[in-house]
């Protein structure tokens, strides 16, 4: 296995358990399975995180439900002493993940007592099936260096990790036809969750020598069921087993989940390990065919970028049910398992360009939660759709008003994520419109997209204000992406995005009027929209869009930002009194300074880059970059991408690597105040792809034309990737002095603008374009 | 001296020094002299607080300057041990203040060493002259019970108390023609400050027996100059002295201040104690003639109310120079000696009704600081006049952005007093218009008042926003009187006051058009005002004025106030972690709750009481009252006044007493965060008068008609007071069953509406009106 496909970590370090749980994540969109060891429990944050099933206990935060862990398996000595890293520090240990197939492998050598140097090697391979979305499979192998008796316990651990639980109750546990099962129901909506598990010995069945005692027992806490085998191991003999687990919930629409889980379990056992693994590998192979990005000259970046895409692929919604991707993927209950703007702005582009059907599904999720967004708008006295800052199944906002705890007083701190980050509605409209533009498929508009877009525009209409003296509309009291500055006026990013939303609404109306006039009439009548339309036109015409200062080129992040204290980041850090004090909020360290949490105006300059001269974008990058704390994992990728936009990819490269390796290194904020925010960083994962493709390869699409403005970092010799556009597919290779375009699916000719010149790509013909050194990435600008 | 004119405190308590310094204040508008003992120094917060002279040292807060203390005098034993309360705890001690004359008297019996029971009685009387505004006078008497030698040191203590000083520098000290003198200059603007002092023995001059050694010496610190007399006292003989001091600054326009001070000193010495005292008493007598309020049946309230008026009278600006009254009067440098809205809303009414010439001067101060208000508006990107929240000599805002220190982190806390309390400009316009209405004198309009009013309206025009969906103008991101809730939208008080300002501007324009068309043309041309006028009309027409809820009668204090946590005040208090933590600001205890700092909507309901039915006012009083923390001394008087407005004076009486006794008891907040905010409470002093006259006596004036709607507290049998109205003067006596109107100055008949019926008061005729029991205060409503 090429190292560019393999993530591996050797040695056991108790301080890395949580980080490795994220790093070695497996999943299939239906569920996420943390990269913990089979013998681990909730103490080590084992989680079988279910997508889309949320539960609330009392007044605690509503969050996704973790299912019982059907892969739980533990070796023990004959006297019952468990063989876990904690109680028997391993002689050797390694974990690895094959990105190409999604198979996780662990190998641990535990010491055995008694004879000097005797040990047992436990090896497992496991995966969450991409083929059968409810199935997890595990193959295990045990081999000792001396004859000895061991115990192998395996079954279902229903004592799950919860942050604001317990979410499961009314457990029933038992064995039916040799399959173990746990069924429980969620507290809030009484949704049943069932896990079935089956186990077989494959080779060296110790029962051949000695009667096995694999009778199931239920733990004293009534939450776990397990069999325990007594293994009389012979030195050097490998004992191999295979187990599967299947998970269903009441939301799956497959009848009684217990029954469905048992059925899947039986079928999977019958298929066997190899067949199951081959089937999932085939799905993975197809995914990589369209998704992979090959980087020449930089194996480290290659692995990191693949790993980033892997994380997106295991979190992307499975099946037909509209769904989206939470901010922390399926790595746990962090951030309430909620969907943020992260999805539309940072993850959607990858899917739009590689799996548009899946992108459509992500956006349909927003259309299906439109009523929640309407309720939120109405709650605050606005019209239209104000999407949830933290969205779960209904679209009602899971974001609380008190999101952070003040570390100095222990009091909950009022934050304005929920009330003031109005750009979320623009982000949603932008996502929907991007889909329509990139796919040419208007079915999303008819399937709720148009209604959503119109309602987002109407929200801005009711949120905006006209100032008669300045003769302009303004957006007041908002929070932009830089959440350290809450409740500001005319955040440039927000204003431009709101203007974009108004444009999208007007374009949607024009489009429907031409193509689907009946649908337009229907919508206008349902929404009583006609009077709003004129107001939207007026607002669009007069909406204040902060322009670059003619002298400095700077776009002020929001009104009076430049009057704030201009303190170096280092100095501000030295004022910190508590390691996890929150820098934003009413009294945060950064609030009264120019230090920002994350790319804000610089993100605007990417999204609207055709409106601004390169010098303006550069001036802003140079101004805001040293003032950015990167307190959000969404920040670095934007600085990487925009550095490439302005022809300075080497400025962006460290930010790209920071983004792409975020879940490999595990070096990221884990606490804000006393709030745990660990887990994988799906937006950064998507941002790594964006930085590589939009940034370094320089791909952009507009008005039916595909544009390439490459700016490869010095260390890259080339980048090769495939993408889809309006039913077509292309493979592009961007080198330092050439660009090659291979049409994969192409019916008619397609125009490519490469480094400023236009080329026509024709079906069946590969287009090879030379680019001159001055077009190339590091040409001095 | 009747006890209703006498404030007296016996005994010496070191914990009361600061409180008594406020309680026994004397002053004359030119300067305030704290009620400290003659032997005290800056350690006990002695201050000769100069009105209108401000100074800034480095980056510290700009604040008024304290002059050297020319009355400093101290007894000592022959061996030099000082006779001060600290070093020789008094056997008896008393301080008192005669409100009728403004004379402070202290009497202290200090023990003498040696013979059992021997002691010395030191008595002084002093006053700040109302007749000669630069002069302070002191008469002292020393009598021992045994023959003994004492030292009397007396001179000028130039080592002044400063909060953010030192403000004085470049001291010169010396004696000229027997007068001591100190001259220094302020740091910022090099304004000279001079004090001259003269001393004479009146009786029992010890020098008759023994040569005196009253040669002046200058202290080691170079800041004080004093003579020391050796007194060979004979038992039972009274030794009396008399000293005067005069203070001038470079702002007084009287040439070299040193010279002027010496001149005044010489003249005052020549006049002598009795003549000086009689002259000041005459001024006081005239003041009381027009100011006094006589309460029947309630001596405690009588004293407290007179005391409140006394505090106003000693702080009111002297002379012709436009000036105003700082929030803490002239009791020190607290609150930077700045003028707040306190003056217009809480102090102005007393002067408007009793000394309209002085009221005019208070308002001229605003007209003269209009350019400062323009600069502030421009600083924030607005037009017109945004008056300073804390105004000093130039009208530039002395209020800092970080006004409070966070007690938990020691960090400065961003507050929004300065930026968001836009009602200040409405308060100024309201004050100016009230003057014009009450006096009928339009000279103020021509002397800057009209320009100020127009510029205030224009400020609101540039601050307000039109919301097209709701088809109304709104005022966003403001702080109302309730400063615990910063940055709110549509604070009802602010919106109504802004509407009032727009009305005033429109009425001013109409008035000038009719009476002074040239002046109007001139103004419109200077201010390029014509386009603003139409916009002001439109804004006024559509300005959102939060209406009472039809069901509950409640006017919501600001948008979404009622969604805040409705926690009992007691419970909120129990959450307090630090005794002086600030309840407002970004993370304040009250910020996210319905607990308010001070009357806000309830004040609105007084100012606009004719617009609302009594039931609405009552519903709001009842709702907001238990939710008010009264963290401001401006709060209680409003609850008192509005309780009377709704016919429930006994609900208001405790609030009246709280207001009227605030500087007698000294029980008020002394710290916010770590900021000292002690001193006298001039707004509460004015509020006590308002509660008595507007509330209990029920006086109001509108459209040329004087209205009385009495509502006396049960304990009051009557209230008698005089007031002026459009060149007329009346004395009113409000009893429980009758109202008597005596015209003092009256040329034509004047309509009085009493308890709903109209009466005509004719020159020379006293009007006696019976009011029926149901009109009377406590009739059930």
Whether the bond into A166 is cis, omega within 30 of 0: yes
Among A414, A469, A477, beta carbon nearest to B383:
A469
- Closest of B494, B607, B502 to residue B558, by C-alpha: B494
Substitution target from A465, A485, A535, A582 for chain B, most B beta carbons within 10 A: A465
Listed in order, strand segments (DSSP E) in B56-186 are 63-67, 73-77, 92-98, 103-111, 119-128, 135-144, 148-157, 168-176, 179-186
**Residue B609: pLDDT above 60?**
yes
**A543 min Cα distance to partner chain B (Å):** 13
Please tell me the predicted confidence (pLDDT) of residue B2.
66
Q: Which amino acids of B are annotated catalytic?
A: 483
Among A381, A469, A592, beta carbon nearest to B414:
A592
Residue B505 host element (H or E):
helix B492-515
Confidence band, pLDDT 50/70/90 cuts, at residue B781: very low
H, E, C per residue of B509-569:
HHHHHHHCHHHHHHHHHHHCCHHHHHHHHHHHHHECCCCCCCCCCCCCCCCCHHHCECCCH
Q: Using CB atoms within 10 A of its CB, is residue A265 exposed (0-12), middle (13-18) or buried (19+)?
A: buried
CB-based contact A226:A155 (threshold 8 Å): yes
Edge-to-edge, what's the strand order for the sheet holding A728-735? Answer: A293-296, A718-725, A728-735, A738-745, A767-770
Residue by residue, DSSP assigns A348-376 as HHHHHHH-HHHHHHHHHHHHHTHHHHHHH
| Cα B749 from Cα B741, distance rounded (Å) | 12
B531 in reach of chain A (CB within 8 A):
no
Among A401, A532, A586, beta carbon nearest to B585:
A586
B462 in reach of chain A (CB within 8 A):
yes
Among A474, A539, A585, beta carbon nearest to B587:
A585
Residue by residue, DSSP assigns A697-763 as S-EEEETTEEEE-----TT-SEEEEEEEETTEEEEEEEESSEEEEEEEE-SS-EEEEETTEEEEE-T
Beta-bridge partner residues of A437 = none
Residue contact B587–A539, C-beta within 8 A: no
Q: Give the A window 476-505 contacts with B, CB below 8 Å.
A: 476-477, 487, 489
B381 in reach of chain A (CB within 8 A):
yes
State the alpha helices, DSSP H only, in A337-490.
342, 348-354, 356-368, 370-379, 417-420, 423-439, 443-444, 450-463
| Cα B661 from Cα B652, distance rounded (Å) | 14
Please tell me the predicted confidence (pLDDT) of residue B780.
37
Place of tokens 């004859």: A147
Q: Which amino acids of A are annotated catalytic?
A: 483
Residue contact A381–B461, C-beta within 8 A: no
Residue contact B406–A587, C-beta within 8 A: yes
For residue B585 the two structure tokens come to: 């600001």
- Closest of A180, A218, A223 to residue A199, by C-alpha: A180
| Cα A33 from Cα A124, distance rounded (Å) | 15
Please enumerate in sequence order all residues whose Cβ is within 8 A of that of A5, keeping only pairs 6 or more positions apart, or say none.
Answer: A98, A99, A100, A303, A306
A409 in reach of chain B (CB within 8 A):
yes
CB-based contact A713:A287 (threshold 8 Å): no
Q: Which range among A200-214, A486-500, B84-98, B187-201 shows the weakest confidence by mean pLDDT?
A: A200-214
Residue contact B467–A465, C-beta within 8 A: yes
Mean pLDDT for B672-682 is 82
| Cα A260 from Cα A723, distance rounded (Å) | 37
Mean pLDDT for B547-557 is 98
For residue B477 the two structure tokens come to: 């991101």
Mean pLDDT for B572-580 is 94
**A57 min Cα distance to partner chain B (Å):** 22
Substitution target from B380, B416, B468 for chain A, most A beta carbons within 10 A: B468
**B467 min Cα distance to partner chain A (Å):** 5
User: Chains A, B: CB contacts under 8 A, how many?
Assistant: 92
State the alpha helices, DSSP H only, in A136-272.
257-271
Report the relative pairing of strands B148-157 and B224-233 from DSSP bridges: antiparallel
CB-based contact B333:B63 (threshold 8 Å): yes
Report CA torsion sign: B374, B375, B380, B381: positive
**Residue B680: pLDDT above 50?**
yes
Among A401, A408, A587, beta carbon nearest to B586:
A587
**pLDDT tens digits, B4-27:** 899 999 999 999 999 999 999 999
Q: Is B595 left (phi over 0), alpha (psi -120 to 50) or beta?
A: beta
Residues of A in contact with B402 (CB under 8 A): 592
Place of tokens 């029991």: B773
**Residue B562: pLDDT above 90?**
yes
| Cα A597 from Cα A579, distance rounded (Å) | 16
Substitution target from A382, A420, A586 for chain B, most B beta carbons within 10 A: A586
**Residue B775: pLDDT above 60?**
no
CB-based contact A153:A215 (threshold 8 Å): no
Please enumerate in sequence order all residues whose Cβ is within 8 A of that of A480, keeping only pairs 6 or more positions apart, or say none.
Answer: A421, A423, A488, A491, A492, A493, A494, A557, A558, A600
For residue B294 the two structure tokens come to: 């006589």
| Cα B477 from Cα A683, distance rounded (Å) | 33
Helix, strand, coil % in chain B, rounded to nearest 5? 35, 25, 40
Among B401, B409, B559, beta carbon nearest to A577:
B409
Residues of B in contact with A474 (CB under 8 A): 465
Q: Using CB atoms within 10 A of its CB, is residue B729 exposed (0-12), middle (13-18) or buried (19+)?
A: middle
Among A466, A476, A575, beta carbon nearest to B476:
A476
Edge-to-edge, what's the strand order for the sheet holding B767-770? Answer: B293-296, B718-725, B728-735, B738-745, B767-770
- Give the burial string for A669-684 (b: 16+ CB within 10 Å, else e): eeebbeeebbbbbbbb
Percent of chain B with pLDDT over 90: 89
Scanning every residue of chain A, which has its alpha carbon at the shortest distance from the alpha carbon of B458? A469
Beta-bridge partner residues of A753 = A707, A758
CB-based contact A415:A394 (threshold 8 Å): no
| Cα A433 from Cα A439, distance rounded (Å) | 10
Please tell me the predicted confidence (pLDDT) of residue B206.
55
B671 in reach of chain A (CB within 8 A):
no
Whether the bond into B166 is cis, omega within 30 of 0: yes
Residues of A in contact with B532 (CB under 8 A): 469
CB-based contact B56:B183 (threshold 8 Å): no
Predicted-complex ipTM score: 0.90
Terminal-residue alpha carbon distance, chain A? 41
Residue contact A585–B585, C-beta within 8 A: no
Please tell me the predicted confidence (pLDDT) of residue B3.
75
Residues of A in contact with B591 (CB under 8 A): 414, 586
CB-based contact A456:A426 (threshold 8 Å): yes
CA B636 to chain centre: 16
CB-based contact B61:B336 (threshold 8 Å): yes
Please tell me the predicted confidence (pLDDT) of residue A207.
52
In the 8-state DSSP scheme, what is residue B61?
Answer: P
CB-based contact B123:B105 (threshold 8 Å): yes
Residue contact B408–A413, C-beta within 8 A: no
**B255 min Cα distance to partner chain A (Å):** 43
**Residue B54: pLDDT above 80?**
yes
CB-based contact A139:A240 (threshold 8 Å): yes
Give the residue with greater pLDDT, B669 vs B500. Answer: B500
Please tell me the predicted confidence (pLDDT) of residue A671.
75
Distance set, CA A326 to CA A90, A162, A249, A641 (Å): 35, 17, 19, 23
Beta-bridge partner residues of B741 = B732, B767
Distance set, CA A330 to CA A33, A48, B203 (Å): 8, 8, 97
Q: Using CB atoms within 10 A of its CB, is residue A447 exposed (0-12), middle (13-18) or buried (19+)?
A: middle
Question: If DSSP codes are grouped into helix, strand and coil, which group holds residue A16?
Answer: helix
Residue contact A592–B474, C-beta within 8 A: no
**pLDDT tens digits, B234-273:** 999 999 999 999 999 999 988 899 999 999 999 999 999 9
Report CA torsion sign: A388, A390, A395, A396: negative
Place of tokens 């005729």: B765
Question: If DSSP codes are grouped into helix, strand and coil, which group holds residue B374?
Answer: helix
**A465 min Cα distance to partner chain B (Å):** 5
Residues of chain A with pLDDT under 70: 1-2, 115, 204-214, 773-781
Please tell me the predicted confidence (pLDDT) of residue B456.
98
Substitution target from B586, B591, B592, B673 for chain A, most A beta carbons within 10 A: B586
| Cα B286 from Cα A251, distance rounded (Å) | 88
- Closest of A638, A506, A620, A645 to residue A561, by C-alpha: A620
Residues of B in contact with A467 (CB under 8 A): 462, 464-466
């Amino acid at each position: 296995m090429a190292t560019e496909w393999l993530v591996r970590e050797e040695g056991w370090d108790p301080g890395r358990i949580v980080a490795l749980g994220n790093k070695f994540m497996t999943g299939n969109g239906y569920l996420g399975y943390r990269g913990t060891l089979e013998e681990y429990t909730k103490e080590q944050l084992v989680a079988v995180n279910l997508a889309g099933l949320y539960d609330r206990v009392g007044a605690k935060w509503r969050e996704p439900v973790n299912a019982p862990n059907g892969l739980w398996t533990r070796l023990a000595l004959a006297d019952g002493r468990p063989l876990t890293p904690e109680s028997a520090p391993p002689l050797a240990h390694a974990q690895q993940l094959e990105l190409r197939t999604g198979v996780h492998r662990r190998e641990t050598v535990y010491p055995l007592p008694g004879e000097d140097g005797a040990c047992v090697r436990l090896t497992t391979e496991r995966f969450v099936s991409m083929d059968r979305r409810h199935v997890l499979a595990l193959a295990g192998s045990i081999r000792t260096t001396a004859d000895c008796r061991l115990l192998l316990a395996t079954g279902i651990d229903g004592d799950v990790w919860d942050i604001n639980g317990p979410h499961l109750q009314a457990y029933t546990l038992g064995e039916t036809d040799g399959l173990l099962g746990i069924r429980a129901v969620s507290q809030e909506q009484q949704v049943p969750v069932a896990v079935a598990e089956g186990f077989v010995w494959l080779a060296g069945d110790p029962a051949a020598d000695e009667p096995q005692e694999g009778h199931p027992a239920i733990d004293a806490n009534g939450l776990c069921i397990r069999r325990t085998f007594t293994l009389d191991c012979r030195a050097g003999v490998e004992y191999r087993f295979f187990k599967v687990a299947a998970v269903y919930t009441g939301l799956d629409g497959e009848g009684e989940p217990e029954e469905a889980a048992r059925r899947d379990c039986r079928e999977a056992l019958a298929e066997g390990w190899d067949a199951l693994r081959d089937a999932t590998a085939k799905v993975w192979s197809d995914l990589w065919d369209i998704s992979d990005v090959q980087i020449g000259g930089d194996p480290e970046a290659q692995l990191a970028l693949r790993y980033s895409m892997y994380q997106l692929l295991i979190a992307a919604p499975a099946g037909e049910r509209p769904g989206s991707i939470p901010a922390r993927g399926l790595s746990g209950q962090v951030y309430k398992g909620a969907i943020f703007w992260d999805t539309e702005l940072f993850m959607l582009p990858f899917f739009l360009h590689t799996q548009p059907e899946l992108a459509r599904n992500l956006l349909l999720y927003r259309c299906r939660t439109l009523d929640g967004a309407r309720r939120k708008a109405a709650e605050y006295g606005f019209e239209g759709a104000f999407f949830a800052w933290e969205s779960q199944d209904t679209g009602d906002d899971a974001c609380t008003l008190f999101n952070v705890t003040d570390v100095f007083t222990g009091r909950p701190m009022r934050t304005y994520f929920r009330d003031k980050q109005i750009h979320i509605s623009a982000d949603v409209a932008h996502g929907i419109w991007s889909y329509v533009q990139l796919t040419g498929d208007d079915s999303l508009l008819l399937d709720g997209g148009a209604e959503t877009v119109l309602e987002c525009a109407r929200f801005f209409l009711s949120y905006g204000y006209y100032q008669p003296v300045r003769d302009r509309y303004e957006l007041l009291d908002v929070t932009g992406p830089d959440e350290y500055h809450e409740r500001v006026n005319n955040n440039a990013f927000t204003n431009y995005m709101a203007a974009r939303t108004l444009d999208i609404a007007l374009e949607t109306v024009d489009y429907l009027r031409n193509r689907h006039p009946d649908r337009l009439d229907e919508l206008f009548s349902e929404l009583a929209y006609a009077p709003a339309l004129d107001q939207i036109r007026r607002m669009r015409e007069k909406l204040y869009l902060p322009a670059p200062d003619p002298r400095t080129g700077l776009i002020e992040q929001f009104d009076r930002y430049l009057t704030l204290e201009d303190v170096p980041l280092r100095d501000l850090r030295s004022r910190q009194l508590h390691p996890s004090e929150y820098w934003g909020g009413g009294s945060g360290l950064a609030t009264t300074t120019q230090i920002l949490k994350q790319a804000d105006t610089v993100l605007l300059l990417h999204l609207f880059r055709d409106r601004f001269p390169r010098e303006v974008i550069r001036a802003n990058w140079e101004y805001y970059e040293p003032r950015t704390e990167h307190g959000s994992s969404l920040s670095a990728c934007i600085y990487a991408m925009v550095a490439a936009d302005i022809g300075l990819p080497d400025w962006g490269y460290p930010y790209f690597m920071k983004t792409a390796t975020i879940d490999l290194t595990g070096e990221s904020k884990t606490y804000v105040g006393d709030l745990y925010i660990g887990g994988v960083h799906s937006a950064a994962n998507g941002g790594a792809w964006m930085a590589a493709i939009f940034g370094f390869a320089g791909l952009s699409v507009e008005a039916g034309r595909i544009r390439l403005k490459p700016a490869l970092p010095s260390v890259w010799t080339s980048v090769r990737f495939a993408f889809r556009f309006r039913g077509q597919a292309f493979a592009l290779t961007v080198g330092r002095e050439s660009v090659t375009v291979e049409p994969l699916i192409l019916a008619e000719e397609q125009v490519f603008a490469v480094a400023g010149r236009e080329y026509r790509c024709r079906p069946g013909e590969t287009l090879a374009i030379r680019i001159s050194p001055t077009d190339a990435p590091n040409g001095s600008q």
